[in-house]
């Protein structure tokens, strides 16, 4: 697997050993379709008969992030999630505040906008995180929560961390 080779390469360059645990954790993340939490990975590995301590999972994920092979995400659930990052192009997220569903999308226009703003304000871009919150198809119409005052609901305070 390509990503695994990149990881091996990273470790080698930094004179770090490729342990059985690191390999198992990296494989699990690389094979996963979606954003995994540390617990997701722990369960997944346990199911394969691999017993890996959570501390090691945390440590390895940080390594993968430093290597540029994984990305840390926070959908406001109270814990982090991780997704592998091949040489993939940047993508953005649409999140349902009702059921938690996360949809990814990509728009060239978004990249241009980012570049424009950054150059205008004198920033050298490294990355971005765009999360659009709302109700997905399935959840539309099932609202409830407390009434907001003042501003129109369409621009009301959204969950961030939330």
CA-CA distance, 77 to 160, in Å (whole number)?
10
For residue 143, the number of C-alpha atoms closer than 13 Å in the C-beta half-sphere is 9
Pick one of a second copy, DNA, none as the site partner of residue 130 (Cβ within 5 to 8 A by kind): a second copy
Q: Confirm or reject binding of residue 1 to a second copy (CB under 8 A).
A: no
Cβ distance to DNA smaller for residue 37 or 114: 37
Cβ distance to DNA smaller for residue 107 or 158: 158
Pick one of DNA, a second copy, none as the site partner of residue 53 (Cβ within 5 to 8 A by kind): DNA
Tokens (6 digits) for 133: 């919150």
Q: Pick the binder of a second copy from 21, 37, 56, 114 (CB under 8 A).
A: 114
Q: How far is the CB of 4 from a second copy (least distance, A)?
A: 12
Contact between residue 83 and residue 73 where contact means Cβ atoms under 8 Å apart: yes
Q: How far is the CB of 76 from DNA (least distance, A)?
A: 11
Distances 121 to 112, 118, 127 between C-alpha atoms, Å: 14, 5, 15
Cβ distance to a second copy smaller for residue 17 or 47: 17
Binding part of the chain for a second copy, among 25-33, 37-45, 51-59, 146-154 by CB under 8 A, reads 146-154
DSSP 140: T
Contact between residue 116 and residue 103 where contact means Cβ atoms under 8 Å apart: no
Q: Confirm or reject binding of residue 17 to a second copy (CB under 8 A).
A: no
CA-CA distance, 34 to 47, in Å (whole number)?
18
Contact between residue 25 and residue 41 where contact means Cβ atoms under 8 Å apart: yes
Cβ distance to DNA smaller for residue 3 or 26: 26
């Amino acid at each position: 697997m390509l990503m695994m080779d990149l990881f091996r390469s990273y470790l080698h360059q930094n004179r770090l050993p490729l342990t059985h645990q690191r390999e198992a954790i990296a494989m699990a993340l690389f094979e996963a379709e979606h954003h995994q939490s540390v617990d997701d990975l722990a369960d997944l590995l346990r199911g394969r008969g691999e017993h890996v301590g959570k501390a090691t999972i945390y440590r390895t994920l940080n390594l993968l992030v430093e290597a540029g092979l994984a990305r840390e995400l926070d959908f406001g659930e109270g814990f982090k999630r991780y997704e592998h990052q091949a040489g993939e192009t940047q993508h953005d997220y649409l999140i349902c505040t009702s059921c938690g569903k996360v949809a990814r999308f990509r728009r060239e226009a978004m990249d241009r906008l980012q570049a424009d703003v950054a150059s205008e304000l004198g920033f050298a871009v490294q990355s971005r995180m765009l999360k659009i919150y709302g109700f997905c198809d399935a959840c539309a119409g099932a609202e409830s929560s407390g009434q907001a005052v003042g501003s129109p609901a369409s621009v009301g305070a959204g969950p961030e961390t939330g």
